[in-house]
Amino acid sequence: MDKKHKSVLAVAFIVVVGIVGLWNVDLSQGYLLVSELQKDPDKYVGQNVNTMGTVKNGTLNVSTSGISFMLEDPENEAYELEVMYTGALPANFVEGTSLSISGRMISENKIEANKIVMGCPSKYSE
């Protein structure tokens, strides 16, 4: 085998390993705002989505069947989604805080979340 043939085989091997390594990785979806989900809900209902927003004050309901709250769009409070969650809440979860959720959008106004990530508190104040 000459040097050129070995180089072509090495590049082909690297490409194959890269494709196999990324086979089940979903690179298509980042975090959407609540308003983006509600402007075209038919596109997202029944799909797994990632969204971010603020927990609306006065909407947190913790019961034996689960946790629910309203998630407001951080840029336009007119848009909000009901979030149903059955996992353990993060220790710093309070109304009025920003968070990100992942889950399945089950209707145009409701998400069943399977993951909640709290936004980092700011170290700086004005």
**Residue 60's domain spans which residues?**
29-118
Residue 23 lies in a domain: no
Tell me the per-residue pLDDT of 10-29, one tens digit each, with 9 for 90 and over: 888 888 776 766 555 444 45
Q: What's the total number of domains in the chain?
A: 1
Residue 80 lies in a domain: yes
* Residue among 25, 9, 35 nearest 108 (CA): 35
Is the Cα dihedral 111, 100, 65, 57 positive or negative?
negative
CA distances from 124 to 51, 53, 120 (A): 25, 20, 12
Tell me the per-residue pLDDT of 38-82, one tens digit each, with 9 for 90 and over: 888 889 999 999 999 999 999 999 888 889 999 999 888 899 999
User: Do the Cβ atoms of 53 and 98 come closer than 8 Å?
Assistant: yes
Residue 16 lies in a domain: no
CATH number for 102: 2.40.50.140
User: Do the Cβ atoms of 70 and 55 come closer than 8 Å?
Assistant: yes
* Residue among 112, 115, 107, 113 nearest 44 (CA): 107
Residue 108 lies in a domain: yes
